[in-house]
Amino acid sequence: MQQESKFYQCYDLHMKNGKVLSYAEDYDTPASKGIVGDFKRGTKKFLEYGDMLHGYTIPFDQISFIVATDVQKVM
């Protein structure tokens, strides 16, 4: 049985402290419902991502800007 490939949109989050963090979301997520839409609207206070062992919470007000970098294919 062949596994279907999945695609992710990758972003660099440029933080106010000068660090750059990587983030990815499902490529099929509409921009208005993804991280870019959340950042533009300013309605969410935190970006939460990761899994139960390695989860992260980033305050949106600490992000200076977001850059879409590439699309990754995952098998």
Side by side, which strands form the sheet with 6-15?
Answer: 20-26, 6-15, 63-74
Hey, is 70 helix, strand or coil? Answer: strand
Model pLDDT for residues 33-73, shown as the tens digit of each residue: 999 999 888 888 998 877 778 888 899 999 999 999 999 99
Structural contact between residues 73 and 3, judged by C-beta atoms closer than 8 angstroms: no
Residue that the structure tokens 């139960």 belong to: 52
Residues in the chain, overall count: 75
Q: What is the pLDDT of residue 2?
A: 67
Distance between CA atoms of 53 and 45, rounded to whole angstroms? 22
Domain boundaries, the chain: 6-74
Model pLDDT for residues 6-27, shown as the tens digit of each residue: 999 999 999 999 999 999 999 9
Q: What is the pLDDT of residue 42?
A: 86
